[in-house]
């Protein structure tokens, strides 16, 4: 082989020395956890709270949703909303009476619970057949009827933002695909006369044989 041919072959090799070399694939960054939900493929089931009301099925609140891109910002904003704060709602300038567990009026409570007062609720009870919020973290032993709060016209779902909860039927069996409907912050009218216990846990009736656990509503006590 003459010198000119050798030179041409070397030039060809130099020009093609990257042929067949595969660039390394980009590694996707894993977003941070959302509250107690650890995203993996966008379909990870949320972790249920440690303190679940007695009788509530562990699977009752699952509905994976797309994971936001900026999870740290999302998580920070989500936690600024306290969904267990309720507001007293009555005639401006007046207050409402709190009651005890037996339904007896607590003297002087209407001076504390003026219209527009914001209080923390930790659970919903039935008192005299009507739903009432327990506000004992601020006023020990006090309950206020839901009809005298900003939740008078309907319940709002309280769960991990972007997720929903399952409704159940009167036997406590999950309503098929209902988790795709009852998302956090959505509001639903309910039947005051049909707030009832199912498997030991208080539920609101929001439709034909559809009940939502009070624990997963504003003022019901759930926090993530």
Averaged pLDDT, 196-200: 96
Q: Is the pLDDT of residue 66 over 70?
A: no
Q: Which residues touch 87 (CB under 8 Å, ≥6 apart)?
A: 116, 117, 118, 119, 149, 150
**Which tens digits make up the pLDDT trace of 158-169?**
999 999 999 999
Domain boundaries in the chain? 85-148
Averaged pLDDT, 123-137: 97
Averaged pLDDT, 173-183: 92
Neighbour count for residue 71 (Cβ, 10 Å): 17
Per-residue pLDDT, 68: 34
Run of H or E including 72: helix 71-78
Q: Lowest mean pLDDT: which of 2-6, 15-19, 119-123, 189-193?
A: 15-19
Q: Which two tokens stand for residue 205?
A: 């009736």
**Which tens digits make up the pLDDT trace of 25-52?**
333 333 333 333 323 333 333 333 333 3
What is the gyration radius of the CA atoms in the chain, in angstroms? 28
Confidence of residue 111 (pLDDT cuts 50, 70, 90): very high
């Amino acid at each position: 082989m003459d010198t000119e041919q050798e030179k041409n072959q070397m030039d060809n090799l130099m020009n093609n020395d990257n042929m067949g070399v595969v660039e390394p694939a980009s590694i996707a960054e894993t977003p941070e956890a959302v509250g107690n939900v650890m995203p993996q493929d966008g379909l990870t089931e949320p972790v249920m709270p440690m303190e679940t009301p007695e009788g509530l099925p562990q699977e009752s609140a699952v509905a994976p949703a797309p994971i936001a891109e900026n999870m740290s910002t999302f998580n920070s904003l989500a936690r600024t909303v306290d969904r267990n704060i309720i507001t007293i709602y009555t005639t401006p300038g007046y207050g409402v009476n709190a009651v005890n567990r037996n339904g007896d009026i607590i003297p002087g409570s209407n001076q504390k619970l003026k219209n527009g007062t914001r209080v923390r609720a930790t659970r919903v009870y039935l008192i005299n057949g009507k739903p009432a919020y327990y506000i004992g973290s601020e006023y020990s032993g006090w309950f206020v009827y839901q009809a005298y709060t900003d939740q008078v016209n309907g319940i709002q779902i309280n769960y991990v933002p972007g997720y929903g909860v399952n409704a159940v039927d009167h036997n406590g069996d999950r309503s098929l695909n209902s988790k795709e409907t009852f998302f956090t912050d959505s509001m639903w009218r309910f039947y005051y006369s049909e707030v009832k216990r199912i498997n030991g846990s208080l539920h609101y009736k929001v439709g034909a044989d559809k009940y939502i656990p009070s624990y997963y509503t504003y003022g019901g006590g759930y926090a993530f």
